[in-house]
Amino acid sequence: MAMKRQIPFALVFIFGIFMLFQYFVPHESSEWVYEFLLDWIYIIGILALALGIWSLFRVSVDKIKTKKPNWVYSYVTLMGLFIMTVFGFTAKTGDSWGLYPVFVITFMLALFMLIQVLAKPASRNLYGLFGGAFLLAAVLIAILDRTWGFYFMEAKGLQNSMFRIFFDDVMMPILSTMFALLAFFIASAAYRAFRARNLLASLLLIAALIVMLRFNPYLPYAAYVAKVSNWLMNVPNLAGQRAIVIGIGLGIVATALKVILGIERGYMGKG
Partner 1 sequence: MDIFEKMMKLDRRWIFLFLIIVCVVTYAIPFKVPILVEPEVRSIYNFIDSLPPGDIILVAIDYDPNNLAELHPMTYALVEHAWRKKLRVIFTALSQNGPGMAEQAILDISDSLKQDRTFNGVHFKGREIKNGIDYTFLGYKPYYALVILGMGQNFRLPFPTDYYGTPLDSIPMMRGVLNYDQVAGVIDLSGGSITDAWISYGQGRFNFPLALGLTGVMTAQYYPYLGSGQVFGIMGGLLGAAEYEELADNPGRAKDGMRIQLYAHMVIILFIIMGNVGYFAERRRQKREEKGR
Partner 2 sequence: MKRTTFVVMAVVAVLFLLSWIFKAIALKGTAEHYWIQGFLITFAAFLTLAVLSFLYKDNPFYKFAEHLFVGMSAAFWMCLGFWTTIVQNLIPRLSSSLSGFFEVPTIPGDYNFFFYIPVLLGLLLLMRLSPKGGWISRWPLAFIVGTTAGLNFIRYLRSDFIKQISSTFVPLFGTDWQGAGHFFSHLDLSATGQLALIAANWLIFVGVFTGLIYFFFSKEHTGWFGRASRVGIWILMITFGASFGYTVMGRVSLLVGRITFLFKDWLSLIS
Partner 3 sequence: MKVILGIVFLAVLLTCSVAFAQTDAMTPADSTAADTLSPPAPPTDVKAVDTPNDHGHSITVTWKLSTDDGGGAKSVSHYEIFRSASPTGPFDSVGTAVAGQTIFVNGGDKEKQSEDYFPDDSNFYYRVDAVTMNDSVRSSSEIAGPAHAYGQWYNTGRTPVLVAVLLFMILTIYFVSRARKGQELYVRPLGGIEAVDDAIGRATEMGRPILYVLGLGTAADVATIAAFTVLGRVAKRVAEYQTDIIVPTYDPIVMTVAQEVVQSAYLDAGRPDTYKEDSVFFVTQSQFAYVAAVNGIMLRELPATNVYMGKFYAESLLLAETGAVAGSIQISGTDEIAQIPFFIVACDYTLIGEELYAASAYLGREPVLLGSLKAQDWGKALVIILAIAGIVAANFGWTWFTHLFKVAN
Q: Which does 155 bind (CB under 5 to 8 A by kind): partner 1, partner 2, partner 3, none?
A: partner 2
Positive or negative, the CA dihedral 20, 23, 25, 30 is: positive
37 touching partner 2, by CB under 8 A: yes
Q: Is 263 near partner 2 (CB under 8 A)?
A: no
Tell me how far, at minimum, the Cβ of 177 lies from partner 1, in Å.
12
* CA–CA separation, 113 and 93 (whole Å): 30
- Contact of residue 31 among partner 1, partner 3, partner 2, none (CB under 5-8 Å per partner type): partner 3
Contact status: 224 vs partner 1 (CB under 8 A): no
| Footprint of partner 2 on 136-155 (CB under 8 A) | 153-155
Report, in Å, the least distance between residue 109 CB and partner 3: 24
Binding span for partner 2 by CB under 8 A among 109-117, 123-131, 132-140, 157-165: 157-165
Residues 83-112 that bind partner 2 (CB under 8 A): 83-85, 87-89
Beta pairing partners, 90: 150
Closest separation in Å from C-beta 187 to partner 2: 8
Q: Which of residues 50-79 bind partner 3 (CB under 8 A)?
A: 50-53, 55-56, 58-59, 62, 69-70
Q: Closest Cα partner for 87 from 75, 76, 101, 70?
A: 101
Q: Length of the chain, please?
A: 271
| Contact flag: residue 228 with partner 3 (CB under 8 A) | yes
Interacting residue with partner 3 among 1, 3, 26, 146 (CB under 8 A): 26
CB of residue 125 vs partner 2: minimum separation in angstroms?
Answer: 28
Q: Rule CB under 8 A: is residue 190 a binding residue for partner 1? A: yes
> Which residue, 81 or 135, is less far from partner 3 as judged by CB?
81
Name residues contacting partner 1, limited to 99-128 (CB under 8 A): none
How far separated are the first and last CA of the chain, in Å rounded?
Answer: 9
Name the residues that contact partner 1, by CB under 8 A: 183-184, 186-188, 190-192, 194-197, 205, 209, 212-213, 215-218, 222-223, 226, 230, 233-234, 237
